[in-house]
Each structure stands twice: as structure tokens, then as C-alpha cells.
Amino acid sequence: MSDKADFTKNVLPYLAQLEEDEAGPDAAEISRRYGISQERIVMLSRNENPYGASPRVRAALTDVSLHRYPDSRPFLKALSGYTSYPEECLVAGAGMDEIITTICRIFLGAGDKVLIPVPTYNFYGLAVELCGAVPHYQPRLAGFSVDRKIPEGIKMAFLCSPNNPTGNALSEENVRAVVESTESIVFLDEAYAEFAGKSLLKLVREYDNLVVGRTLSKAFGLAGLRLGYAVAPPWIARQYRRVAPLFGISSLSLAAGVAALQDLGWMRECVGKIVAERERMRQSLASAHPSEGNFLYVHTEEKSEVVVERLLCQGIVVRDCSSFPGSGEHCLRVTVGRSEDNDRFMEEFKNANTKLSS
Ligand code: PMP
């Protein structure tokens, strides 16, 4: 073999343009860069639950036998209790991100068109491109609602309610209109449904082209264990089981999921505290949009990248939304954290958001 062989030519051509996804700086890096002690750093950028998982989760992990392949059935049974859907309608994945990539793999091939109302969760576009399919980004309407009709020629559409990063939930009427307007597959992402206190899960019983994705990363505080699920019509759930790896979720994650679903009181207590804090923050942040998630979408005077960098210098990490297609250059997303962390954000935001006269 020649030393000069170009092995990179083997990479699929439609993947060549993809950007590498970055997790952003961690607390150690921020501490080093800005000279702030790690205890002073406040992470409000990833929509995590600041109270963590139920204590029962940790207890359940000690009992897991690590030398056996995982069995997802007890988790699916627990999910059946939580969602009121039979197990034939339920599938699990390593986080909702894996659910999304698997659903795309079932329905999308090269050149297929996928409707994505923006701004929204960036991962949909990536998952679509990984299949060689083409995202069609469509601007949202007033109040961040979505167009009632899916145009001809679309193979799949992504809805998100409450939507990341804008925080609004879609009305039942809006979602029904979209689903009924099309022969394509509609994926409704309800990662933040618990914070909204409402869900459109019931619609899966009515529509054979609707899949609802959920996760235990948010309200249940299990982001580190990567556990998501979808509620789907039986025919789609069957396709899913044919495509997804049989042992794709670790035994630890599955055991954690069962324990978390057995302690709904903990989850509801976290959600109650987060929702109360969210409303308190919104009262004092004049440029925040109403939100039904565990985060706020906040308009900035200065460019958001400037404001976000100023906050970072103070050890407060929030999400600059200029990397969300369709969001513009003047919005940031802040996760609702613990009360003392939110206070620090609100105090520092006042300073960081002041436009400096040149
Ligand atoms: N959907 C939305 C709207 C999200 O914001 C996220 C994560 N931030 C996910 C899905 C992915 O969740 P998971 O951790 O389950 O992969």
C-alpha cells in the first residue's frame, strides 16, 4: 500500500460538510481561563435538573449484575405504568438522541426532505444529515407556533413541545392540524413535557404517523445515564425493534430508569421547585419569553455572544442561541437552576446585558 493513499475518500460524501459537535468548556477549563474557583461556577447551559435523580436510583445501582447482558423488559413495564401505553407501543434508547437517530434510520434515505420548524433542538438537523437526507428549515409563526400544513414532498417532520430553545408548548389543535395534513411521519419531541404539566401523548392512539419522544434526562435527573424512550403506533415500534441494537442500553441505566419511575414523588417535587423558580426568574427578566420548560429564552440588548462571554467571565455558563438556525444573534437560553444560582445569574445578567456606548 502506498504511503500516500487517501483513505479519507472512503468517508461518505454527504458527511464531509458536517461540523464537529462541541460540548463547550467544562468547569475546570472555565476556572483556569477566567481565574474563578470551581465552586463559584454555575452551569445553566444544558437544561439539567439541578436536584439530581431520586436517592432510590443510587440504591438500585448497587444491585445490578454487570456480567450479564442488559434486559430492557422491566424498564418497558415501568414505562407502561407511567405512560398508560402497552409495551407493544414503547421503545427505549440511549437517550432521546438515540431514539431520534434510530427513527431517522427507519424512514430516511439519501435526498429525502425533512421539515424542521426553527429555532429548535439542533440535533434533528444532524440526525437527518447523517442519513443523507435534507433538512428544510421553516421559520416559526407568531408565538413560535408552527405552520398547520406540511408541504408536499416532505418525508418526515420534527415538532418539539415545549420547544427548545423558545420554551413554548404547541397547542393540541396545532399538532393535530400538522399531523392530519400529511402522509409523512411526525416526530413530536416531549423532552420537557413534565415541566409543562401537560402532554399530547394521547394522540399516538389516534394517529398512525405520530411518534412521541421522551427522556429521563430532564425531570428525572438522569442525563448522565442516557435513557430515553418513544411512544409509537405498534407498526413503528416493531420497525424500531428490528433496527435498534438489542443491548443498546446499559444495565445500570435500565435499573436507574426503573427506580426513577418508582419514585414519581421525587420527580414531581423537583418539577414543582423548578417551575416556581422559572416563574420567579421570568418576573424579574423583562426580556424573557414565557416558558413551559426548565429554561428561559431571553432576548439580549448586545449580541448574545457578547453577553454570554461576559457571563462566562463571571463563572456563569448559559447557552448562546446564535448557533440555533433561525434564532438570530440576540437570544440566550438559561436553564432554571437552584435558587441561589438563579439569583447570581439574574444579578450578573443585568450588568452583562448593558450596551456599552462606543
Ligand atoms: N430533545 C430535546 C428538545 C432536548 O433539548 C434534548 C437534550 N437537550 C434531547 C431531546 C436529548 O435528550 P437526551 O439526553 O435524552 O438524549
Query: What CATH number has the domain bearing residue 63?
Result: 3.40.640.10
Report whether 272 contacts 266 (CB < 8 A).
no
Are 130 and 78 in a shared domain? Answer: yes
Q: For residue 100, which atom of ligand 1 is closest to its CA?
A: 10
Establish whether residue 124 lines the binding site of ligand 1, counting it when its CB lies within 6 angstroms of any ligand atom.
Answer: no
More confident residue, 25 or 303: 303
Are 113 and 206 in a shared domain? Answer: yes
CA of 72 to the centre of ligand 1 (A): 21
Query: What CATH number has the domain bearing residue 344?
Result: 3.90.1150.10
Establish whether residue 164 lines the binding site of ligand 1, counting it when its CB lies within 6 angstroms of any ligand atom.
Answer: yes
* Pocket-testing residue among 44, 217, 229, 291, ligand 1, by greatest number of atoms within 8 A of Cβ: 217
Establish whether residue 223 lines the binding site of ligand 1, counting it when its CB lies within 6 angstroms of any ligand atom.
Answer: yes
CA of 279 to the centre of ligand 1 (A): 22
Q: For residue 164, which atom of ligand 1 is closest to its CA?
A: 3
State the Cα–Cα distance between residues 43 and 47, nearest whole angstrom: 9
Work out the average pLDDT over 86-100. 98
Measured by CA distance, the residue closest to atom 6 of ligand 1 is: 191
Establish whether residue 225 lines the binding site of ligand 1, counting it when its CB lies within 6 angstroms of any ligand atom.
Answer: no
Percent of the chain with pLDDT over 90: 91
- Grid look-up 401505553 returns 85
Does residue 358 carry a pLDDT above 80? Answer: no
| Residue 93 domain-assigned (yes or no) | yes
Work out the average pLDDT over 122-147. 96
The lowest-confidence range among 22-31, 152-161, 268-277, 297-306 is: 22-31
Are 178 and 280 in a shared domain? Answer: no
| Residue 3 domain-assigned (yes or no) | no
CA of 15 to the centre of ligand 1 (A): 22
pLDDT given at position 16:
80
Q: How many residues does the chain have?
A: 358
Are 182 and 221 in a shared domain? Answer: yes
Last residue of a domain, one of 262, 284, 316: 262
pLDDT given at position 304:
97
Last residue of a domain, one of 262, 294, 314: 262
Work out the average pLDDT over 331-349. 97
| Residue 7 domain-assigned (yes or no) | no
Establish whether residue 190 lines the binding site of ligand 1, counting it when its CB lies within 6 angstroms of any ligand atom.
Answer: no
Based on its alpha-carbon atoms, the radius of gyration of the chain, rounded to whole angstroms, reads 21
Of 294, 130, 97, 109, the C-alpha closest to 213 is: 97
Of 208, 168, 214, the C-alpha closest to 188 is: 214
* Pocket-testing residue among 48, 79, 120, 164, ligand 1, by greatest number of atoms within 8 A of Cβ: 164
The number of domains in the chain is 2
Establish whether residue 48 lines the binding site of ligand 1, counting it when its CB lies within 6 angstroms of any ligand atom.
Answer: no
Are 285 and 139 in a shared domain? Answer: no
Domain that includes residue 329, residue range = 19-48+265-352
pLDDT, tens only, 27-69? 899 999 999 999 999 999 999 999 999 999 999 999 899 999 9
Q: Per-residue DSSP letters for 88-119? A: GGEEEESHHHHHHHHHHHHH--TT-EEEEEES
Q: For residue 223, which atom of ligand 1 is closest to its CA?
A: 14
pLDDT, tens only, 277-335? 999 999 999 999 999 999 999 999 999 999 999 999 999 999 999 999 999 999 999 99
| Residue 11 domain-assigned (yes or no) | no
Are 83 and 204 in a shared domain? Answer: yes
pLDDT, tens only, 251-260? 999 999 999 9
